[in-house]
Structure 1
Amino acid sequence: MPEVNIRSANERDLDRCFEIESVSYSGSEAATKEKILKRIKSYPEGFLVIENSKEIIGFINSGAAHRVELSNEEFKELVGHDPSGENVVIMSVVVDPKYQGRGMARKLMDSFISSMKGLGKARIYLICQAELLGMYARFGFVHIGESNSDHGGLSWHEMSLSLENI
Structure 2
Amino acid sequence: MPALTLRNALPTDAQRCFDIETSAYEGDEAATLEKIATRIAQYPQGFLILEENGEVVGFINSGCAHNVVMSDEAFKELVGHDAEAPNVVIMSVVVDPAHQGKGYAKHLMTAFVQRMETLGKQTIHLMCKQQHVPLYTRMGYTYVRPSPSDHGGMAWHEMVMCLEGASSH
TM range (shorter): over 0.9
What amino acid is the match of 1:93?
V
Alignment match, 1:149: 149
| Count of residues in correspondence between the two structures | 166
| 1:39 alignment partner AA | R
String of CA shifts for 1:1-56, please: whole Å, max 9, x gaps: 21100100001111110100010001110000000000000000000000011410
SS at match of 1:14: helix
Equivalent-residue separation in structure 1 for 2:100 and 2:134 (angstroms): 17
Task: Report the AA paired with residue 120 of structure 1.
Answer: G
Q: For structure 2, which runs of at least 5 residues remain unmatched after alignment?
A: none
* Aligned residue number for residue 56 of structure 1: 56
Aligned position for 1:16: 16
Letter in 2 for 1:82: D
Measure, in 2, the Cα distance between the counterparts of 1:137 and 1:131: 11
Q: Distance in 2 between matches of 1:149 and 1:122?
A: 23
Instruction: Give me the whole-angstrom Cα distance separating, in 1, the residues matched to 2:44 and 2:64.
Output: 11
Q: CA RMSD in A?
A: 1.0
Mapped to 2, the partners of 1:155 and 1:53 lie a distance apart of: 36
| SS of the residue 1:117 aligns to | helix
Q: Give the equivalent residue in structure 2 for 1:136.
A: 136
Corresponding position of 2:46: 46
CA distance in 1 between partners of 2:103 and 2:155 (Å): 26
Q: Can you list the C-alpha shifts for 1:71-100, whole angstroms capped at 9, x where unaligned?
A: 111110111100000000000000001110
Q: How many Å separate the matches in 1 of 2:97 and 2:150?
A: 24
Distance in 2 (alpha carbons) for counterparts of 1:164 and 1:15 = 34
CA distance in structure 1 between the aligned counterparts of 2:165 and 2:118, rounded to whole angstroms: 13
Supply the AA of the counterpart residue of 1:46: G
CA positional deviation for 1:106 = 1.0
Q: Which stretch shows the higher mean deviation, 112-121 or 130-139? A: 130-139
**C-alpha distance in 1 between matches for 2:42 and 2:165:** 28
Query: TM-score of the superposition, structure 2-length normalised?
Result: 0.96
Secondary structure of 1:145's match?
A: strand
Q: Which whole-Å CA distance do the structure 2 matches of 1:38 and 1:165 have between them?
A: 28
Overall identity of the aligned pairs, in %: 52
Mapped to 1, the partners of 2:73 and 2:90 lie a distance apart of 13
Q: TM-score, normalised by structure 1?
A: 0.98
Q: Which residue of 1 aligns with 2:104?
A: 104
